[in-house]
Amino acid sequence: MIDDVWDPAHLEPFLRGGPGCARLITSRLLQVATDVQAKRLLVDEMSGSEAVAMLTANGRASTLNALAVLPDGRLASGSSDRTIKLWDPTSAKPESSQPQFIADAAITALAFLPAPPTLVAGDTSGRLHWLRLPGP
């Protein structure tokens, strides 16, 4: 994940790799995606209160460390309680009362791979977890 990119030139070192490599680039500038021929996924902005409600009052009991936006609009969160949860952004609630996954250590990174739909999670022990995602 390359977060908050303001200058497409800053992406050059990160764009190397084979055809199986995936990158998630976040930016507020549409030109960044255009310049590197990236697939664009526009995400509506939540208000501060909506974001806090979604990530605290509805099932988040610990520190949020990672967040990924899935192509279908759902959100995946990873946190210090070692859990990964899938969220419905329209209801601001987790899809299930049970976590999607529980790791042996705090989740610190999430990335989405499109085919097959897979969530890759990194934890503080250095492990990577590859999780096949269910449909919405």
Tokens of 57: 């009052």
Q: What CATH code is carried by the domain that includes residue 54?
A: 2.40.10
Rounded to the nearest 5°, which phi and psi values hold at 18?
Answer: -85, 180
Kindly report, residue by residue over 10-54, the tens digit of the pLDDT: 888 887 777 677 777 888 888 888 888 887 777 777 776 666 666
| Same-domain check for residues 79 and 19 | no
Say if residue 69 is in the same domain as residue 3.
Answer: no
Residue type, 101: F
pLDDT of residue 25: 82
Instruction: Provide the domain count of the chain.
Output: 2
Claim to verify: residue 54 and residue 34 sit in the same structural domain: no
Quick one: pLDDT at residue 58?
47
Task: Please give the residue range of the domain that contains residue 36.
Answer: 1-40
pTM more than 0.85: no
Same domain, 34 and 54: no
Contact residues for 81 (Cβ-Cβ < 8 A; gap 6+): 61, 62, 106
